[in-house]
Amino acid sequence: MYLMVFLNVIIHGCQVGSRVVMALFAIKLGASPFAIGLMVALYSIPPLCFGVYAGRVTDRYGVRGPMILGAVLCGAGMLLPYCWPSIPGLFCSAVTIGFSFMFYTVAVQNLTGAWGPREQRAQNFSTLSLGYSISGLCGPVFAGYAIEYAGHQTAYLCFAISTLIPLLTLLLYRPLREFEPPQAAPSSGNALELLRQPELRKVLINSALVVSGWDLYMFYLPIYGDSIGLPASRIGTILGTFAAATFVMRFSLPYLTKRFPARNVLSVSMFAGAALFTAFPFVSDIWMLSALSFGIGLALGCGQPITLLMSFNRSPEGRSGEVTGIRFALNHFMHSAVPVTAGALASVLGLAPVFIINAGILAYSGHLTRTVRATVQAAPPAAPPAG
């Protein structure tokens, strides 16, 4: 399992790092802000439009094939701007990387839930989320240094070469070749059928609400900090405390979920996050803002691993990949819609009401989580010993 998380750190690090390289390379090539915005949006279009399809492919054919395809497409997407250093090349690269991340992520999340006994599932998802935190930090940092010392094209080339590590591992690693999660029957129904299941629908909505809270915070904290006269370094420090708190929460999550039901941990966290968001617009002291940011990071840090766990536990047998694809598509819809909606709200209502609205979103998420019933599901097939 740790090996799979390490490979995911590489792929996800390439994906988030490429956003930095893409934006800076596009500026150097003379692209307009609108064109750069379109490039960023193209990362989310494939998951939004084809996330469910990627999940069905994972259910039908297993996880190894989609992961290999994702690694190949990621490497190809990185090579495009190196071989074709132009604005059209960056557009094509963004679409290709979007497809690669979709196939790889849906497959690796499905694999994480099916790997090992049921009791280990919470720890698996927590470990995977820790990997996302690491790659989310390392990818942009590596991109920045690579650009500064070697240039934009070489940065893309370095990312492309790094994808060979997961690709070769997936091709040669025997335990993964031998492991197959439950596969879907030929007539499994459609995605709407899954959304008609009340408990699963609640979990998927909850996942989207958590994403909304996260995106609104990351979108508005810099704007709020600037509005009260904080320098960029202080704003970065506040965001750093948030990132540190998410890491602490995800590291602690296996211990919490062993002691308390996962849905209770998520519910309490969302209510706590709502309370902290309510206080945020009334605070301007840097230390108090950092403390609030750390608390919000603790609250939101458990969102991804727990909603992954809850959605997997409530997936019909052989359709966990499709459920993961639906969740992935809904989350990317929120990634696209939240900044636009929030910007419109702020222009009409100002900044403070947006934080209160976000508090209401998290409070509703906490309430919705409390209504989700416990589920008992047969353990997945035992995985071979992790390498």
| Residue 375 pLDDT | 57
Residue 257 has pLDDT above 50, yes or no: yes
- pLDDT digits over 136-155, tens only? 777 777 887 888 888 888 98
| Residue 232 pLDDT | 64
| Residue 382 pLDDT | 41
User: Which residues, 6+ apart, have CB-to-CB distance to 355 below 8 Å?
Assistant: 220, 224, 277, 278, 280, 281
- 268 is written with which tokens? 């309490």
Dihedrals phi, psi of 89, to nearest 5 degrees: -65, -35
Ordered by where they begin, the domains of the chain are 2-178 (1.20.1250.20), 191-371 (1.20.1250.20)
- 278 is written with which tokens? 């309510």
- pLDDT digits over 273-314, tens only? 999 988 888 888 888 988 998 999 888 888 888 888 888 777
| Dist CA 217 CA 211 (whole Å) | 10
| Dist CA 387 CA 381 (whole Å) | 17
- pLDDT digits over 230-243, tens only? 776 677 777 778 87
| Residue 377 pLDDT | 44
Range in 99-113, 134-148, 218-232, 365-379 the model is least confident about: 365-379
Sign of the CA dihedral with 36 first, then 40, 45, and 46 last: positive
- 174 is written with which tokens? 């025997």
Asked if residues 99 and 6 have their Cβ atoms less than 8 Å apart, the reply is no
| Nearest residue to 355 via CA among 250, 238, 274 | 274
Cβ-count burial of 15 within 10 angstroms (0-12 exposed, 13-18 middle, 19+ buried)? Answer: buried
| Dist CA 171 CA 65 (whole Å) | 9
Range in 129-133, 230-234, 252-256, 275-279 the model is least confident about: 230-234
| Residue 185 pLDDT | 53
| Residue 376 pLDDT | 45
| Dist CA 335 CA 337 (whole Å) | 6
Q: What is the DSSP letter of 280?
A: G
Share of the chain above pLDDT 90, in %: 9
- pLDDT digits over 44-89, tens only? 788 878 877 877 778 777 788 888 999 999 999 999 999 998 889 9
| Dist CA 318 CA 331 (whole Å) | 22
Range in 191-195, 247-251, 332-336, 352-356 the model is least confident about: 191-195
| Residue 92 pLDDT | 92
pLDDT, average across residues 146-173: 88
| Nearest residue to 284 via CA among 345, 366, 226, 356 | 226
Residue 333 has pLDDT above 50, yes or no: yes
Residue 386 pLDDT class (50, 70, 90 cuts): very low
No. of H helices and E strands in the chain?
Answer: 16, 0
Mean pLDDT of the chain: 79
Q: Give residue for tokens 């910007």.
A: 343
- pLDDT digits over 178-191, tens only? 666 555 555 456 66
| Dist CA 183 CA 57 (whole Å) | 10
Asked if residues 16 and 172 have their Cβ atoms less than 8 Å apart, the reply is no
| Dist CA 26 CA 242 (whole Å) | 29
